[in-house]
Structure 1
């Protein structure tokens, strides 16, 4: 029990030093993928795939916004 508590405290402490992650699209995709994966017995695989797909879609939307926001070259 002490090892588990010490490991948890260490993990939480080290998580504070991690850099900020870009989670745009990932969280929503992970939730949807986790639910869909749970229906077929692969919750974590669904969440991972949903995160990747959500991140991809967020990047694509951002590229589209950037392309329309910049004036056309002369």
Structure 2
């Protein structure tokens, strides 16, 4: 019980230091990754990996959109 409470207090303290994050792609990826991870017993690891993958895909889509717009602007 003491370890759980310590971990919760530490996590809540670290939330205060977190800066503004862009969640584009992360939330949907975290949900999908969390569900897939839960199926194999690793919910939080799946959510973290899903968030990273979702963010990567969102960045890739944004680069593609930016490249498509730039030639038209010239």
Q: Same fold (TM over 0.5)?
A: yes
SS in 1 for 2:71: coil
User: Matched residue pairs, number?
Assistant: 66
Partner deviation per Cα, 1:34-73 (whole Å, 9 max, x = no partner): 001001101011001101100100000000000001126x
Query: Relative to total residues, which structure has the larger helix share, 1 or 2?
Result: 2
Unpaired segments ≥5 residues, structure 1: none
In the alignment, which residue of structure 2 is the partner of 1:52? 52
In the alignment, which residue of structure 2 is the partner of 1:25? 25
Query: RMSD between aligned alpha carbons?
Result: 2.4
In the alignment, which residue of structure 2 is the partner of 1:11? 13
Give me the whole-angstrom Cα distance separating, in 1, the residues matched to 2:23 and 2:44. Answer: 17
In the alignment, which residue of structure 1 is the partner of 2:67? 67
Partner deviation per Cα, 1:1-55 (whole Å, 9 max, x = no partner): xxx6xx48x728x62x642101111111001000010011010110011011001
